[in-house]
Structure 1
């Protein structure tokens, strides 16, 4: 294992721990705005997957780009569905959209 890989793995693990700690302390009232902001991040991931698709060569590269783009698109759509359902809780029962 070279030094660069070890440094990358260290940053990855520390970011996972820090992200878990920060997200775990989000109050309920801020959860919906946080979900909406996360949707934009997933959109950026999807755009990045499409840009990387331009440089993919070989079957493995195309498969990885397809899987990445599919998961990113599912995250974007799922995030907006969850946000919509959460906002639905704050509407009066008889109100129309």
Structure 2
């Protein structure tokens, strides 16, 4: 019996995470939206740390003897992750500000 490629397992986990995330986010009541955004911003900040590590992969290291180009791919994907997570954090803060402004008392 042949073993299943680990990439298939990772892809299956990713697809399941997308479905679970979709149903969790869209079933949240409006009153819980602000705490959810705060948690999302915290998760994105952790993603930025990992993306920074990926974007700087191989920087300052001596060239590898076999000459594989894995560092270039890691830098590209890391840079894209930094951009997307930054947009998510910034947008989350904007949405959170708007939600909190709705609960402030109006001045006359």
Normalized against structure 2, the TM-score is what?
Answer: 0.74
SS in structure 2 of the partner of residue 21 of structure 1: helix
RMSD over aligned Cα, in angstroms?
Answer: 1.8
1:50-72 residue CA offsets vs partner (Å, 9 max, x unmatched): 112231533x4333322221111
SS in structure 2 of the partner of residue 93 of structure 1: coil
Q: Which moved more, 1:61-70 or 1:75-84?
A: 61-70
Normalized against structure 1, the TM-score is what?
Answer: 0.81
- Aligned mates of 1:16, 1:68 — CA distance in 2: 17
* Number of residue pairs the alignment of both structures matches: 93
Runs of 4+ residues over 6 Å off in structure 1 = none
**What residue ranges of structure 2 are gaps of 5+ in the alignment?**
59-70
Q: Which moved more, 1:3-12 or 1:49-58?
A: 49-58
* Alpha-carbon shift at residue 37 of structure 1 (Å): 1.1
* Alpha-carbon shift at residue 86 of structure 1 (Å): 0.8
Q: Which has the larger radius of gyration?
A: 2
